[in-house]
Amino acid sequence: MTTKCSPPELRPKKLDILVAAVVLVLAVVVAVGFYGPKLGQSDHLTAVISVGEEVIERVDLATLKEDKLLTVEGECTLNVLLSNSGAEVILSDCPTQDCVHTGHISRAGQSIVCLPGQVVIHLEGASDEGAPDIVVG
Amino acid sequence: MMKKLLPLLLCLLLLTGCAPKPESLDIFAMDTYMSLVAVGDEAFDALQKSANIVNSLEQAMSRTIDSSDVAQLNATGSAALRYDTAVLLEEAIALSEATLGSFDVTIAPLVALWNISGDNPRVPAQEEIDALLPLVGSEHIHLSDGSASLDEGCAIDLGGIAKGFASDRIAQLYHESDLSGGFVSLGGNVYVHGENTDGEKWNVAIQHPEVSGGYACMLSLTDAFVVTSGGYQRFFTAEDGTVYQHILDPATGAPAASDLLSVSIILPYDADKLHGAMADAYSTALYVMGEAAACDFWAGQQNFDMVLVTRDGRVLYTPNLIDHFTEVEDSGYDYQVLTA
C-alpha cells in the first residue's frame, strides 16, 4: 500500500505578500537614502548658510525667480548675493576680505568661508558627472 | 515564488542596511575652517576624536592662546613643550633646513609686522623690515629634552605647518579606525582616506587661482595628502593699489614675489612619517622659491609630487601623477609634465 504525501502549501498567503511588500519598501527607502543623496545633496543647487556651527538658512537656488540679497550677521556682517547660478559675498565688514576675494561659486561642493565672521556659504546638490569630492586651494 | 523572492528581498535589505552613511563635521579651529568626513562603522567616533585632536593641537600651538606652548615660548623666550609641539618644532627645523630657509617658523615677527591676515595690515618701512630680518632663521631655536628656547627678540609661528600636522594625526586615527573612507580638509590641507562614497578614489580638484569657482586640474587619489599654497585669496590692497599677498619670503621679509600662482604638494600617507606637515611646509617653501628653484628642488629630492600653476598660464606636474591627473578643458592652462 502506498500513501500519497500531500504537497506543502506553496501558495502565498496574504501575510507573506504584506511582509514582502514591507521589506521591498524598506529596501528601496534605505537604498535611496544611501545612494541617492551624496553627503546630503539634493537635486537642486542649494546654498547652505551657516554661522558658527549652526545652519541659519538653506536656499534652493534653482527655484529663485530673481537674485536674492541676504544679510548674514555673524561676528561680522556679510551681504551675500544668491542667484540661479550660485553665490557670492559682495560686501563684508570683516578685516581680511577673504570671503569677498573668493568671488562667485557655482558648483556643488564649493564654499565661501569668512573666518573672522565664522560664516560659511556652502553649495550642495545638482552634482554633475566628474564633479570633485573635495576642492583644495 | 514568494518563498524564493522573500530571501532575495531580505538580502537586498541587508546589503543596503549595511552600507554606512558618511558622517561629517565642520568646525572653525586653528585659524581656519575645517571640514571632516568619515565613512564606516566607527565614523562618528573617529570624527569626535578628530575634533579632540584639533582642539588639543590648537591649545598647544596657537600664537593667540596665552597658555599655549608657542605663546609661552614667544612671551618668555623659553617653555616646556607638550609632546606634539616638541615633535612638530623639531620637524619644522628640519624642513626649514631642507628648504634652505624658504620655509621658516621664525618668520613670526615679520608676519606680525605686516599683519596681512590680521585686522590692520600695513606696508612697513624697509627700516622696520631690516630691523627684524636678523631674527629670522631656525638657528635661533634651541630644543632640549622637551623644552625650547629662543634667542632674544625671536618668535615662532607654526601656522604654516600645524594644520598639516593635524592632518597627519587625523590620518593616523582614520587608519586605526574601522573606516572605508573619509577626508579632512583643513584650510588648504587635504587628506583623503580609502574610497569615496562611490567606492572609488577621491576626486580632488585644485582650485583655479584666477577663475572663481574654477579648477586648475583634478587628481584621483587615496591615502594621500594634498596641500595647496597660493597668494590669490588672502591678500590686502594698499592705498596706492599695490596688492600684497600673505606668504612672506624669509629672505627679504616681504611678500614673496613669486612667478607661481599656486603650489600643490602631494604625498602618500606613511605611518612613520609626518607627510602632512611636510606637504604643508613644502607648499609654502616652493611658492616662495618660484618656478625654477621649485623644479630644481623637486629634481634634487624626488620624494614628493607637485602641481605648479605659473603666472604665465602653465600647469606643471610631476611624472608620478600622470595616472592620477586630469586636465580641465576650459581652464585656459597649458599642461606640461616635468622631467627630472
Residue among B24, B62, B67, B74 at smallest CA distance from B44: B24
From first to last of the 137 residues of chain A, give the pLDDT tens digit.
444 555 556 677 777 778 778 777 776 665 555 444 444 445 789 999 999 889 999 999 989 999 999 999 988 999 999 999 999 999 999 988 989 988 999 888 889 999 999 999 999 886 667 789 999 98
Residues sharing a CB contact under 8 Å with residue A131, sequence separation 6 or more, in sequence order: A107, A108, A109, B203
Task: Report CB contact under 8 Å: B204, A130.
Answer: no
Is residue A21 located within the same domain as residue A57?
no
Nearest CA in chain A to B12: A27
Residue A68 lies in a domain: yes
Q: How far apart are CA B164 and CA B228, in angstroms?
A: 11
Residues sharing a CB contact under 8 Å with residue B179, sequence separation 6 or more, in sequence order: B38, B39, B40, B41, B42, B43, B46, B193, B194
- Enumerate the residues of chain A whose CB falls inside 8 A of the CB of residue B13: 23, 26-27, 30
Q: Residue B225 gets which letter from DSSP?
A: E
Average pLDDT, chain B: 93
The domain tally of chain A equals 2
Domain that holds residue A114: 46-130
Nearest CA in chain B to A134: B204
DSSP B140-188: GEEEETTEEEE-TT----GGGTHHHHHHHHHHHHHHHS--SEEEEEESS
Is residue A69 located within the same domain as residue A29?
no
Considering just the CA atoms, what is the radius of gyration of chain B in Å? 22
User: Which range among A73-77, B223-227, B249-253, B288-292 shows the weakest confidence by mean pLDDT?
Assistant: A73-77
Is residue A99 located within the same domain as residue A52?
yes
Task: Mutation target for A interface from B1, B15, B16, B185: give the one with most A CBs within 10 A.
Answer: B16
Nearest CA in chain A to B328: A130
Q: Does residue B180 belong to the interface with chain A, where contact is any CB pair within 8 Å?
A: no
Is residue A112 located within the same domain as residue A53?
yes
Q: Does residue B9 belong to the interface with chain A, where contact is any CB pair within 8 Å?
A: yes
| Residue B152: how many other CB atoms lie within 10 Å | 7
Q: How far apart are CA B248 and CA B253, in angstroms?
A: 6
Task: Report CB contact under 8 Å: B203, A52.
Answer: no
Burial zone of B94 (CB within 10 Å; 0-12 exposed, 13-18 middle, 19+ buried): middle
Task: Report CB contact under 8 Å: B24, A39.
Answer: yes
Distance from CA of B135 to the nearest CA of A (A): 27
Q: Which of residues 28-57 of B touch A (CB under 8 A)?
A: 28, 31-33, 35, 37
Is residue A37 located within the same domain as residue A50?
no
Is residue A81 located within the same domain as residue A114?
yes
- Residue A41 near residue A127 (C-beta atoms within 8 A): yes
Q: Which of residues 86-115 of B touch A (CB under 8 A)?
A: none
SS (H, E, C) A59-107: EEHHHCCCCEEEEEECCCEEEEEEECCEEEEEEECCCCCHHHHHCCECC
pLDDT at B3: 57
Residue among A16, A103, A137 minimizing CB distance to B230: A137
Q: Does residue B19 belong to the interface with chain A, where contact is any CB pair within 8 Å?
A: yes
Is residue A35 located within the same domain as residue A85?
no
Question: Which cell is A88 given?
Answer: 557670492
Cα-based distances in Å from B253 to A68, A105, B135: 44, 34, 10
- Residue B299 near residue B324 (C-beta atoms within 8 A): no
User: Which range among B115-129, B140-154, B163-177, B284-298 shows the weakest confidence by mean pLDDT?
Assistant: B115-129
Can you list the domains of chain B with their CATH numbers? 8-64+94-103+162-337 (3.10.520.10)
Residue A37 lies in a domain: yes
Is residue A50 located within the same domain as residue A36?
no
For position A110, which CATH number holds? 2.60.320.10
Residue A106 lies in a domain: yes
Residue among B119, B120, B264 minimizing CB distance to A136: B264
Residue A4 lies in a domain: no
pLDDT in tens, B134-167: 999 999 999 998 999 999 999 999 999 999 999 9
Is residue A56 located within the same domain as residue A96?
yes
Residue among A12, A103, A107 minimizing CB distance to B2: A12
Q: Residue B312 gets which letter from DSSP?
A: T
Q: How far apart are CA B39 and CA B128, in angstroms?
A: 51
Is residue A24 located within the same domain as residue A58?
no
pLDDT at B223: 98
H helical segments located in chain B: 2-18, 43-61, 69-76, 83-98, 108-114, 126-132, 162-176, 275-289, 291-301
Mean per-residue pLDDT for B104-128?
Answer: 93
Is residue A50 located within the same domain as residue A116?
yes
Residue A93 lies in a domain: yes
Is residue A111 located within the same domain as residue A83?
yes
Nearest CA in chain B to A99: B233
Output the pTM of the full model. Answer: 0.85
Residue among A34, A86, A133 minimizing CB distance to B21: A34
